[in-house]
Structure 1
Amino acid sequence: MSQAFVYAVSVGITALIQLSGFAVAFALQTETFYDILGGTNFLALAAWSAWCSAAFFSNTRQIIATALFVLSRGWLLVFLAWRAHERKGDSRFDGVKDKFGRFLLFWVVQGVWVMLISMPNLFINSSAANRPLTWFDWVLVGGFAYAVIVEILADIQKANWVQAGRPGGFCQVGVWAYSRHPNYFGEIFQWWCAWALAYNSSEHAAGYSDPLWWICILSPAFTMHILLNLAPTGITNAEGKNLKRYYEKCPDEYAEYRKNTSILIPMIGYRHVPLGLKRTIFFDFERYEYRPGGSGKKD
């Protein structure tokens, strides 16, 4: 099967899942299974692209990339299903569920997100190329696995901390002692690794000459943009004015935590990093700073 056909059917599968989900959710006026269908959509595309492969079980790159993709998105499905059950609702949909167009937009955006994130895996599995993994490919596999593990650990450790009654006022257990947002680091880094791992799956002589491989960069770039820049979610939603609850409860302790802890990349010795580097390559932008006087989230 051609890569174009695999992508076209993937779009159809995604549209079917998301629009069917919207129709039922709008009729029942519920958002309960919104995130669950997002996770299910990822796994459906992984299964479809693996089935389309001419020799999946003899292609090491396809097996490893798909296994890591399924682990990542399978965990997302389980975690979001658990969170939806625990929270018994999602504030993102307050005042939206009864508005046809706005509610539909949520489902359309989720479909676009699923397709973009899945692009490197679809690219790898739909390619007829079967090159052996290079040493750099193995580095990327290690990076992909590391990022997935960090994200899973971050989710579990944060959930356990919340269930324990939020001791200390803010989460600094496990990987949260080395990054203020380790879950977002894992989500971003894994898709950069996945995109780079797809390079040697190109049917062209060199990946850099393959336009489709370059289009797949939308997977990590879109993820990074959402988590770093968009206000309704990601770091923008967690930092800035929404740090008020920490500065009111434990100002000195939290200020010290921010000085010592990287905003994204897990590391030690962050307090010694020059401010100029923090504001650039470490993504600790000034817009994430707390400005007293603004309103923010409550615990």
Structure 2
Amino acid sequence: MSSQYFVFGIAAAITIGVQSIGFTLAYALRTEIFYDILGGINYLVLALFSAISGSDKSNDTSTLPWTKDWRKIVATCLFICSRGWLLIFLAWRAHERGGDARFDEVLGKKGGRMKPLTFFVYWMAQAFWVYLISMPLLFINSSSVKQSDFAAYDIAFATLFGCGVLVEIVADIQKALWVRSGRPGHFCSVGVWSFSRHPNYFGEIFQWWCLWAFAQSSSESNRSYADPLWWACIVSPLFTMHILLNMKPTGLCNAEGENLQRYYDKCPEHYSAYRNSTSILIPMIGYRHVPMLLKRTIFFDFEKYEYKPKEDNSSKKE
């Protein structure tokens, strides 16, 4: 068990180190261009570090433990595919947009002074996010348990993890192609976007729940379901959900609510029909028939995501 905590500790130090280097470069050059790139690289560094630093209980030292455990191989390869795509996509998007508007005020691009402390907090927040997301993979690769063949449980969650990664990639590509084609129809409702208003966020959340469940088989505890370290790794999907469902700078809070005004101004009836018949997160058919109580609870279509037009102050005057 101590070897697992050692890997987790070193991984934390690596994460802080990578982000600190990124902040130093970005601060010196007064740019945010390294932010998403270093975040993606940090994921890949942790994946490779945990793969080569893992251990097992066999006496065979001719090969790395990682190469003898299919659970570690599958989890690491899918993780690298997921975070590698994120790195490529975010770097491409930043290039297409000419930067990241989130940092305009922090970097003083709007005429104000640069806020170095706030800028540093951004980088450390990303370090926190990268580390928490990576915890299930660190758990799997640091395990010294001699694994048996894949069970049905392993196959199921490995497949579902891969499906989550695929949904996110397909959603990102379809949205990018739609934007490139001139945004026909004012809002994206092509491909997987016809089954979910935010399939990319669904894929991101779903894959980390699946990886956490998949990690259970790598527990060193005699009672794997009671392993405290495995349960600690549940912060990976929970934190992802919190970021994408509740944080205003990103996720649903940024995409829904008052930001829907552009759709209601241009095509109110068309967008309203799409919104009522399309799940906010979980891809599905027949959403229009789901009772509002279920939409507001298990389907995450909370009232805070509704568009509420601002009242015209002049109309209040008597």
Whether TM-score is above 0.5 comes out as yes
2:126 is aligned, of 110, 117, 121, to 110
CA distance in 2 between counterparts of 1:232 and 1:15 reads 22
2:123 maps to a residue whose letter is W
CA displacement at 1:131 relative to structure 2: 3.5
Which residue of structure 2 aligns with residue 226 of structure 1? 243
Map of 1:73-112 to 2, 5 A cutoff? Answer: 73-97=83-107, 98-112=114-128
CA deviation vs aligned residue, 1:209-244 (integer Å, no higher than 9, x gap)? 211111100000000011001111100111011100
Map of 1:1-299 to 2, 5 A cutoff? Answer: 2-54=3-55, 55-97=65-107, 98-129=114-145, 130-293=147-310
CA displacement at 1:294 relative to structure 2: 7.1
2:16 maps to a residue whose letter is A
CA distance in 2 between counterparts of 1:230 and 1:15 reads 22
1:62–1:124 Cα contact (<8 Å) kept? yes
CA displacement at 1:172 relative to structure 2: 0.3
Give structure 1 stretches of 5+ with no counterpart.
none
CA distance in 2 between counterparts of 1:169 and 1:277 reads 28
1:49–1:125 Cα contact (<8 Å) kept? yes
Give me the CA root mean square deviation: 1.2
CA displacement at 1:293 relative to structure 2: 1.6
CA distance in 2 between counterparts of 1:164 and 1:193 reads 34
CA distance in 2 between counterparts of 1:178 and 1:35 reads 28
Comparing 52-61 with 281-290, greater Cα deviation is found at 52-61
1:90 maps to a residue whose letter is D
CA displacement at 1:95 relative to structure 2: 1.5
Partner of 2:164, secondary structure, is: helix
2:287 maps to a residue whose letter is Y
CA deviation vs aligned residue, 1:56-88 (integer Å, no higher than 9, x gap)? 111011111111100000000110111111111
CA displacement at 1:113 relative to structure 2: 0.3
CA deviation vs aligned residue, 1:32-56 (integer Å, no higher than 9, x gap)? 1100000000000000000012311
Q: 1:30 to 1:294 in 2, by over 3 A?
A: farther
1:66 maps to a residue whose letter is T
Partner of 1:145, secondary structure, is: helix
CA deviation vs aligned residue, 1:153-206 (integer Å, no higher than 9, x gap)? 010000110111100000001100000000000000000000000101000012
Partner of 1:198, secondary structure, is: helix
Number of residue pairs the alignment of both structures matches? 295
CA distance in 2 between counterparts of 1:158 and 1:243 reads 17
1:258 maps to a residue whose letter is R
1:241–1:294 Cα contact (<8 Å) kept? no
CA distance in 2 between counterparts of 1:11 and 1:131 reads 29
Partner of 2:197, secondary structure, is: coil
CA deviation vs aligned residue, 1:13-47 (integer Å, no higher than 9, x gap)? 11111001101101110001100000000000000
Which residue of structure 1 aligns with residue 62 of structure 2? none
Give the alignment's TM-score, normalised by structure 1.
0.97
CA displacement at 1:284 relative to structure 2: 0.5
CA distance in 2 between counterparts of 1:63 and 1:121 reads 10
Give structure 2 stretches of 5+ with no counterpart.
56-64, 108-113, 313-318
1:200–1:206 Cα contact (<8 Å) kept? no
CA displacement at 1:9 relative to structure 2: 1.1
1:131–1:200 Cα contact (<8 Å) kept? no
